[in-house]
């Protein structure tokens, strides 16, 4: 705390405040052009200079800490004249027509405020219109370098650079145009640019926003908060929320620019039913009746176990909860699941078994508190870009980074140690890491003693995996295994995060347990900067599973035996026991025991592995009710009733992100066409099924209050509190601040967590003479999963299609040139896509994204499943390729 005088009035500055912060907090409008709270002070524009008593010359307020006893003047006639002078200098060569184009730009507002008219012209050579989302005209550049700094300090991309010196100084994108550069289209430069030299195209084409709504991004599980700008009920801009603890004023290309799907031409805007093989537009009443008739009929003839409900990981917590309520209460079936099944179910199960809570143990903020970082089977710079940039920034500042990934991803290139293992060999590698830690005496003996049991048996199971043996199996070097183990065990606290490279294997749950073991072994649990942190895939996949869209779990991911009675008491009805998960539902449909499915925002056909098997099974259904924004592949092939849903920009509720944070989702625009929120749809179905009272709510907050009553960990999270910002569960009471780090004193499983001996179970999809190559699949920066949303935005221009990454050796052996179409064949099916030759993949490995429905990669993926969660083995498929 520092007491100072600003323009003769006392002001109490808090720790770390600059004079600029202090003056602005005191309500003074000190002008600045180069300042951005996300960046270090640049002192480039010199506009914020203030007079400080005892100082010969004015000081830059942005770079001067507010200290005790200072006497500051901010708006003396001399300072104001000086500021006008600076602006006049900048305006001399500044395009005269620019202020009228974007009057609200900070520079233009200052020009107006000081009555300065720009007199320059545009230089067409300085314009760059190559990028689909950003328009660049460096005629409007005033050399504040905010774009250069934000690209380096926040995104870590280094696209913008300053060239030359003095009068020749200029800002330029490395690589010629923005599109040709390494730009990842995060838009941070356009967001910070004070003039419009770099500006969102949407601002030029759609005009300024008339109102802003704070909500949560609809894409990945990072849960970035953003401000959605709307004009005339149309989304015209998205800006990051500057004060969000998750994204610190940053967004990625999907969050910032991927809103075009909301008003896509092919969005389904009215309910439909299929009659004689054709989709026919009907009223909501007809459609809901058709759905209910189907469900009633199947229930009457085949029993409730022939019906299933798939909740959506895109929908809100409240809607996930209502989906399970519809299944269990209104339909009487335990068959309820969500797409967590095909991604992070092993994380929830593995962490639940080992530690007691099936969620990330720590927060994203721990990335900045960690002494080292371990990224295991995840590619966050593309799939969780804001988490990725936070990791990147730490690595750039010298924090040791270990990356375990078969591919040389962006983080792998920056890593201290990159273990490029063969897909399917996570377990041997993990055991060898533990082996090194134990054999070199690097384990945390005090933690093991105080907080764990059964260490001896686990330690013995490690004897089978000395690093030399693992090195051979995994295709890495023993020295690298040792180096990685030493970093993780000694540069503490060590933050670990993992992705689908861990879970989408036949030993997914076992591997997550192995990750927990590694953290237990080194005492990296219950501490800031440590933990085991699954990077959840979708905006609300943590939430939907946590809301009970799980065949063996109830609200709060509580086991059925513990929570069933409370639910029965609350809902006043006998509820069914455990049911089928989505893969079992498909199996049962294949065998003819399963007849009707309600699929909410989940394109089962496109997303599940071995599409031929899904096709045969879903074809056996008597009916399939689809709740979605678009005619997805499941609906197109098998749907019988289509209920058009709202996007998250059109409704209220909450999402739960990957660090257990519940955040408010708010409506920015009106529902499109006749679309309704999932909540309205589920309640209408529930009412029509005879449960009108149980499905009547005044709004999502009432649904949330019911959830709070059934799950004590969120009892303290009220909508009123969420207005102040997100809260991390456990948060058992309204006075509780929420929990950033789990397991600080004990585990939900008890005071001590148990080690368990582990072994490796090799995949049956490893290559052989007939199927010599190994296919691995994943996501890219520009698209999201089935690309239902991103394909309907200009992201499709940034990445038009899937490509098959082939190592140059394999390309040579198969006579492939870059761009050649190639047929990929597995035991299960085939697809064709274009070759992309790169040494980012290991020789013998192939990698591709699975976004394009035209290519349909999941026709080739197989039937391997994790035995605990049934999560498919997307990451290992033996294939052969041939030039088309």
Q: Is the peptide bond before 599 cis (omega within 30 degrees of 0)?
A: no
Alpha-helix residue ranges (DSSP H) falling in 93-239? 98-101, 106-113, 146-150, 188-192, 201-206
Q: Closest separation between CB of residue 397 and other proteins, Å?
A: 7
Q: Closest separation between CB of residue 440 and other proteins, Å?
A: 24
Q: Closest separation between CB of residue 264 and other proteins, Å?
A: 35
**Closer by beta carbon to other proteins, 174 or else 490:** 174
Alpha-carbon span 837 to 317, nearest angstrom:
42
**Closer by beta carbon to other proteins, 414 or else 442:** 414
- Residue 364 corresponds to which tokens in the numbers above? 């994203």
**Closer by beta carbon to other proteins, 157 or else 558:** 157
Q: Closest separation between CB of residue 163 and other proteins, Å?
A: 5
**Closer by beta carbon to other proteins, 184 or else 340:** 184
CB of 356 within 8 A of CB of 532? no
**Closer by beta carbon to other proteins, 152 or else 252:** 152
What are phi and psi for residue 42, nearest 5 degrees? -105, -25
CB atoms within 10 A of CB 599: 25
**Closer by beta carbon to other proteins, 165 or else 574:** 165
The residues binding other proteins (CB under 8 A) are 152, 157-168, 174, 182, 396-398, 413-414
Alpha-carbon span 277 to 172, nearest angstrom:
56
3-state secondary structure of 76: coil
**Closer by beta carbon to other proteins, 124 or else 166:** 166
Beta carbons within 8 Å of 113's beta carbon, 6+ residues apart:
31
Q: Closest separation between CB of residue 415 and other proteins, Å?
A: 10
Q: What is the 3-state secondary structure (H, E, C) of 276-296?
A: CCEEEECCHHHHHHHHHHHHH
Q: Closest separation between CB of residue 403 and other proteins, Å?
A: 14
Q: Closest separation between CB of residue 58 and other proteins, Å?
A: 22
- Residue 240 corresponds to which tokens in the numbers above? 């990051």
**Closer by beta carbon to other proteins, 102 or else 162:** 162
Beta carbons within 8 Å of 126's beta carbon, 6+ residues apart:
137, 138, 139, 141
Classify residue 14 by its DSSP letter. P
Question: What angle, rounded to 10 degrees, do the helices at 317-325 and 678-688 form?
Answer: 20
Closest CA to 60 of 45, 69, 48, 77: 48
Alpha-carbon span 16 to 21, nearest angstrom:
9
Q: Closest separation between CB of residue 165 and other proteins, Å?
A: 5
**Closer by beta carbon to other proteins, 172 or else 443:** 172
Q: What is the dihedral of CA 197, 201, 202, 204, to 10 degrees?
A: 60
Q: Closest separation between CB of residue 399 and other proteins, Å?
A: 11
Strand arrangement of the beta sheet that strand 653-656 belongs to: 653-656, 661-665, 727-728
**Closer by beta carbon to other proteins, 155 or else 383:** 155
Q: Closest separation between CB of residue 147 and other proteins, Å?
A: 11
**Closer by beta carbon to other proteins, 43 or else 584:** 43
User: 3-state SS of the chain: helix, strand, coil percent to 5?
Assistant: 35, 20, 45
Q: What is the 3-state secondary structure (H, E, C) of 578-611?
A: CCCCHHHHHHHHHCCCCCEEEEECCCHHHHCCCH
CB of 236 within 8 A of CB of 209? yes
Alpha-carbon span 265 to 278, nearest angstrom:
20
* The pairing of beta strand 272-275 with beta strand 641-644: antiparallel
Q: Closest separation between CB of residue 161 and other proteins, Å?
A: 4
**Closer by beta carbon to other proteins, 345 or else 781:** 781
**Closer by beta carbon to other proteins, 351 or else 402:** 402
Q: Closest separation between CB of residue 780 and other proteins, Å?
A: 21
Beta carbons within 8 Å of 26's beta carbon, 6+ residues apart:
6, 9, 11
């Amino acid at each position: 705390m520092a007491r100072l005088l600003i323009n003769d009035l006392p002001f109490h500055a808090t720790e770390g405040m600059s004079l600029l912060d202090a003056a602005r907090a005191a309500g003074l409008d000190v002008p600045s052009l180069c300042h951005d709270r996300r960046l270090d002070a640049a002192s480039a524009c010199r506009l914020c200079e203030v007079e400080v008593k005892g100082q010969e010359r004015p000081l830059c307020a942005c770079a001067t800490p507010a200290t005790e006893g200072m006497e500051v003047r901010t708006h003396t006639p001399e300072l104001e004249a000086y500021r006008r002078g600076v602006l006049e200098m900048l305006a001399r060569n500044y395009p005269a027509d620019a202020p009228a184009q974007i009057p609200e730009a900070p520079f233009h507002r200052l020009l107006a405020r000081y009555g300065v008219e720009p007199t320059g012209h545009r230089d067409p050579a300085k314009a760059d219109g190559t990028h689909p989302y950003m328009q660049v005209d460096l005629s409007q550049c005033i050399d504040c370098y905010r774009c250069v700094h934000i690209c380096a300090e926040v995104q870590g991309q280094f696209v913008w650079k300053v060239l030359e010196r003095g009068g020749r100084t200029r800002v330029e994108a490395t690589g010629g145009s923005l599109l040709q550069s390494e730009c990842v289209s995060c838009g941070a430069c356009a967001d910070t640019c004070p003039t419009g030299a770099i500006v969102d195209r949407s601002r030029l084409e759609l005009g300024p926003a008339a109102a802003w709504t704070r909500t949560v991004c609809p894409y990945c599980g990072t849960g970035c908060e953003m401000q959605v700008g709307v004009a005339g009920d149309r989304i015209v801009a998205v800006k990051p929320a500057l004060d969000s603890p998750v994204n610190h004023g940053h967004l990625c290309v999907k969050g910032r620019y991927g809103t075009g799907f909301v008003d896509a031409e092919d969005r389904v805007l009215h309910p439909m039913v299929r009659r004689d093989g054709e989709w026919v537009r009907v009223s909501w009443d007809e459609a809901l009746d058709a759905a209910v008739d189907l469900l009633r009929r199947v229930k009457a003839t085949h029993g409730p176990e022939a019906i299933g409900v798939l909740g959506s990981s895109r929908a809100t917590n409240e809607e996930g909860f209502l989906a399970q309520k519809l299944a269990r209460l209104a339909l009487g079936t335990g068959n309820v699941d969500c797409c967590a099944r095909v991604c992070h179910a092993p994380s929830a199960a593995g962490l639940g078994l080992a530690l007691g809570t099936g969620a990330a143990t720590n927060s994203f903020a721990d990335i900045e508190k960690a002494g080292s970082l371990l990224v295991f089977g995840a590619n966050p710079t593309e799939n969780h870009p804001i988490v990725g940039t936070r990791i990147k920034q730490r690595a750039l500042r010298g924090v040791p980074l270990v990356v375990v990934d078969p591919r040389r991803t962006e983080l792998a290139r920056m890593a201290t140690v990159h273990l490029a293992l063969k897909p399917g060999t996570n377990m041997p590698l993990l055991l060898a890491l533990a082996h090194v830690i134990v054999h070199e005496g690097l384990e945390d003996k005090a933690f093991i003693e105080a907080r764990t049991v059964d260490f001896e048996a686990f330690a013995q199971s490690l004897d089978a995996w000395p690093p030399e043996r693992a090195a051979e199996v995994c295709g890495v070097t023993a020295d690298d295994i040792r180096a990685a183990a030493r970093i993780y065990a000694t540069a503490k606290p060590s933050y670990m995060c993992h992705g689908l490279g861990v879970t989408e294997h036949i030993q997914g749950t076992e591997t997550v347990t192995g990750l927990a073991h590694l953290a237990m072994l080194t005492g990296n649990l219950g501490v800031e900067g440590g933990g085991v942190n699954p990077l959840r895939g979708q905006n609300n996949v943590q939430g939907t599973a946590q809301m009970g869209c799980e065949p063996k779990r109830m609200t709060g991911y509580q086991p059925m035996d513990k929570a069933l009675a409370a639910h029965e008491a609350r809902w006043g009805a006998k509820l069914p026991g455990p049911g089928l998960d989505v893969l079992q539902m498909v199996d049962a449909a294949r065998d003819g025991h399963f007849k009707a499915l309600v699929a909410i925002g989940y394109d089962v056909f496109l997303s599940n592995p071995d599409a031929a098997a899904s096709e045969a099974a879903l074809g056996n259904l008597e009916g399939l009710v689809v709740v979605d924004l678009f005619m997805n592949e499941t609906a197109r092939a098998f749907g019988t009733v289509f209920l058009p849903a709202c996007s998250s920009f059109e409704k209220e509720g909450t999402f739960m992100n990957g660090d257990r944070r519940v955040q408010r989702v708010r409506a920015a625009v009106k529902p499109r066409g006749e679309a309704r929120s999932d909540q309205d749809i589920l309640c209408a179905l529930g009412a029509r099924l005879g449960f009108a009272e149980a499905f009547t709510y005044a709004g999502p907050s009432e649904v949330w209050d019911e959830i709070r009553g059934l799950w004590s960990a969120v009892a303290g999270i009220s909508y009123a509190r969420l207005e102040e910002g997100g809260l991390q569960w456990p948060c058992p009471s309204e006075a509780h601040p929420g929990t950033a780090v789990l397991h600080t004193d004990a585990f939900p499983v008890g005071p001590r967590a148990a080690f368990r001996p582990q072994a490796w179970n090799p995949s049956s999809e490893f290559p052989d003479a007939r199927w010599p190559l190994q296919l691995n699949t994943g996501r890219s920066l520009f698209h999201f999963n089935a690309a239902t949303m991103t394909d309907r935005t200009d992201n499709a221009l940034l990445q038009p299609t899937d490509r098959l990454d082939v190592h140059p050796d394999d390309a040579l052996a198969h006579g492939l040139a870059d761009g050649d179409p190639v047929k990929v064949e597995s035991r299960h099916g085939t697809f064709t896509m274009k070759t992309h030759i790169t040494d980012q993949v290991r020789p013998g490995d192939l990698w591709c994204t699975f976004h394009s429905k035209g290519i349909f990669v999941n026709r080739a993926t197989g039937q391997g499943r994790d035995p605990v969660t049934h999560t498919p083995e997307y990451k290992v498929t033996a294939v052969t390729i041939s030039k088309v």
